[in-house]
Structure 1
Amino acid sequence: MTIQPQIELLSVNKHYGGFHALKDINVTIPKGSFVALVGPSGCGKSTLLRSLAGLESISGGEIRITGKAVNDTPPRHRDVAMVFQSYALYPHMSVRDNMSYSMRLRKASRAEIDAAVADVAAILGLGDYLDRKPNALSGGQRQRVAMGRAIIRNPKVFLFDEPLSNLDAALRVHMRKEIRALHDRIGATSVYVTHDQIEAMTMADHVVVLKSGVVEQQGAPLSLYDTPATKFVAGFIGSPAMNFVGGIVGDTGRAVTLDLPGAPSLPLARTMEPRRQVDVGLRPEHLSIETGGAPGIETTATSVESTGSVTYLYCGGDPEIVVVLSERERISQGDPVNLTIAPDKIHLFDPETGAALR
């Protein structure tokens, strides 16, 4: 069965005077999917979301919702609902009145409003708070009210603009599970902007990584983790970030020598162009400590952090290599360590273009 696209962004460009904020963005979002736009501050993700909502006009290209071009369609007629980082609730209104505001503007009947509010409050667990004002609610409850105000409109698309940024770490984890569960329950199409790649990886079906207004890579979360297309994506997806070390491919093309003290050589799972300069990517969680004498990266532990279940090991100095160990290791600052990695877990990138080398 063919799934029809709910949203199509076709060669979308946005200029602010001489600044090119969005550069030929092409993204297709199927109906019912959860898509995350992720990237560092200033990459264009919020501009893209606001353009989709109609809060920004685009300079070129086309935006389609359910097959219809909406470039010139005002926000209120695009059938999208936006949940903001700031919640944007009316402080003088109760939860009930905040959630039903759009229905009251449409002059829906009291019976329709009461039924819709009751349904949405039940979904969000807000039934006991309908008569409270926003200042009597916690941050998580206020975020639920903001989502309820969007849900009650029954839009084609939900747009989330960093909705969890104002919450503490524990509540962010809880709310991201709630948002994803809500998405699945109501069968929505959701577009979610975040700078937090953990949110993007854990919540989304499809992740779009942006850098300086350009789509660096898009795809399923684990495909971006396993096969990043560029050094930027490799460093952005994954926590802690991937380690990068300069290197050169050996004469046989089956090993890479690292620009580290002692010039350690690591075997490769594929044959590369001999003597080629490369940037070598090593994920912290793929590195391990070799105790059997096999050749690896001989270095020194400069710092050790244990959380109980995980140990973070910081090695060397320039560049620093971070290692994530799932076991409690008896390692102290200043101890020598020998690090190894499976050949098929080594990533190689072109030093000039940043493109992945397969």
Structure 2
Amino acid sequence: MSYEAIGISVLWTFLYGYLIVASIDFGAGFFFFYGKWKKKDHIINGIIARYLSPVWGIANVFLVFFFAGLIGFFPDAATYYGAVFLVPGSVALMLLVVRGFFYALAHFGARENLSYLFIYGITGLLIPASLSTVFTISEGGFITEQPEGYMAFTPGLLFTSPYSWAVVLLAIVSVLFISTSFLTYYANKVGNTEAMELLRRFALFWSGPTLLASVIVFITLRAHNAWHFGQMIDVSWMFIASLLFFVIAVYFIAQRQALGTAFIMVMLQFGFAFFGYGVSHMPYLLYPYLMIRASVTSSQLGLLLVVAFIISLCLLIPVLYFLMRFFLFNGNHPKRKLK
């Protein structure tokens, strides 16, 4: 395997890590607001707050590594994506700042303010929605290379594209499904049966829209980029495996069995779908202009980056594990039982 292939694989792994960790965090923030709004905060908000307190800031580390590595490995990506990513990137950054501000407010006496919690919760859904537009843009059709040598972006096409809105929809419902799947396991792990039951119903409810949105993405992608759709058919076994893991996860959650295994199945579901999408998109970083081999950095620098990012990944995963082990699953949780 070439070092550029290893490099993009490592970066894709960082992005997958962000997908899982950030989804749990963003979804938890939304359900924190929902619990207060529906006056169920006495059931689920304690569990959610215990997750958010130690973990809420670590998700962005995965995203920073991904973008730093993308520019380091593939410098031409900055030329093609720089101006294009300015709008969704700026929106996502602004939303991250707003969300962090209102998270801080919630820990300094404003926890009872429903408006603050609404802003905190809704920004957690808008961030992945804004970032997901980058995947849409990578499919081509929204950027044209001009004779003068610059890239012209047509945002009007992006906002009127059915595929673009399908991806946004999938990003939002996936956040809610991943988050409730983990929180169901977490509530059960710490013995809060009442919270587990409520979160389990949320997970089952959002499983349907997640599957439907995935189908819509496939259908709209076929119309938008027939080449990529054909590539995805060539690795269809990965998407079939994703569907199988989804069915297993929903079955375990519905049966209240092996909820930890159910969440692992959810991770595998999104893992196979995410890496299947990435593999089928190769060799393009931006269809049809930017290819990994044509835009890769020098072999010496590329090799150093591969080593550095693999070491970083090997350090970051244990840090995340021990953070959850010592701060989330330490056994010092009040337990609630169903009446």
Q: Same fold (TM over 0.5)?
A: no
**Bigger radius of gyration:** 1
More helix by share: 2
More strand by share: 1
TM-score range, shorter chain: under 0.3
